[in-house]
Amino acid sequence: MDLDLTALAAARLAAALHDRLKDLAPGETAVVRCAEDPELALRSVNLLLRDALRWEVAAQPGAWLARVRRTEDVPPRDVLDALRRDHRRLDRLYAQTIHHTDAGRLDAARASLAAFLVGLDKHFRVEHGLLAAAIPMPPDARGESPSADMLQEHGEILAQARLIEATFAEADCSAASVGPLLAILAGYLSKHEQREEEGLYPLWQGALARAPEAARAALLQRTLEILA
């Protein structure tokens, strides 16, 4: 996909990029020409699209050139990038569970939830067994590690998910009985992921930035093996 946006004013660039890139297909590359550096506009668009895009920007004679691809078409930059992507993957699985339930396809919903639980276990293994163990955090004002709340919330998420799994297994399970439970966990998951990505992940990012490159690479490789 080739997009020539050089005629657009800078104030309209972000809206135009969002309109054209929101449906960028997996495996597709958008080559965008702009009169101004599009970096800030692309960051704004990516925030709206929940980190769905990756790009490279280069200055060209008389213009700026950006090559944009889907995030899943580019290798993760680091462990935190991989975990953020896995959040999106788990969100899609959970959304499928809700969609199937709303449509009365309870067998399909139960299968989606099972896949979600497998992925959730792998995700928590990385956050618990790798990062929380490898990156000790000094206590906060309450005398607790910044990762303590995360660990507690993980237990609550698993308990709620197992309750939903048990409800699906009941002989008289219906969309009316399991739907409210799915909605409650959906809200909790969203808030949990936001707290992690905005609060805890930057702390981990700073600690990883101080680690040797070989250690970071090894940690990323182990993370990808667990999440696979």
36-73 confidence digits (pLDDT tens): 899 999 999 998 988 889 999 999 888 999 999 998 89
Q: Check residue 72 and give its pLDDT.
A: 87
Mean pLDDT over each residue of the chain, to the nearest integer: 91
- Distance in angstroms (rounded) separating the CA atoms of residues 46 and 177: 37
Q: Which helix (H) or strand (E) element contains residue 68?
A: strand 63-70
* 151 or 84, greater pLDDT: 84
Tokens 């237990």 belong to 155
Residue 149: predicted pLDDT:
81
Whole-number pLDDT of residue 150: 84
The pair of structure tokens assigned to 73 is 């078409």
Confidence at residue 136, expressed as pLDDT on a 0 to 100 scale: 76
Alpha helices (H) in 8-105, listed in sequence order:
10-21, 39-48, 79-102
Q: What is the pTM of this model?
A: 0.80
The structure tokens listed for 218 are 């090894």
DSSP H helix total and E strand total for the chain: 9, 4
pLDDT at residue 132, as a whole number: 87
State how far the Cα of 176 lies from the Cα of 153, in Å rounded to an integer. 26
Helix, strand, coil share (%) of the chain residues, nearest 5 = 65, 10, 25
Tens digits of residue pLDDT in 138-193:
766 777 777 778 888 999 999 999 999 999 999 999 999 999 999 999 999 999 99
Measure CA 74 to chain center.
Answer: 14
What is each CA distance from 17 to 30, 60, 74, 100, in whole angstroms?
10, 19, 20, 32
What is the torsion angle, in degrees rounded to the nearest 10, for the CA atoms of residue 118, residue 121, residue 125 and residue 131?
Answer: 110
Predicted confidence at residue 147, as pLDDT, reads 78
Check residue 135 and give its pLDDT. 83
CA distances from 129 to 12, 123, 125, 163 (A): 45, 10, 5, 24
pLDDT number for residue 60: 86
Q: Tell me how far apart the terminal alpha carbons of the chain are, to the nearest angstrom.
A: 30
Separation between Cα atoms, residue 86 and residue 189, nearest integer Å: 13
Q: Residue 19 CB: number of other CB atoms within 10 A? A: 10
Residue 207 one-letter amino acid: A
Any residues with CB less than 8 A from the CB of 20 and at least 6 apart, and which?
Answer: 1, 3, 30, 32
Domains along the chain with CATH numbers: 2-73 (3.40.50.150), 79-227 (1.20.120.520)
| Cα 12 to Cα 5: distance, rounded to the nearest angstrom | 10
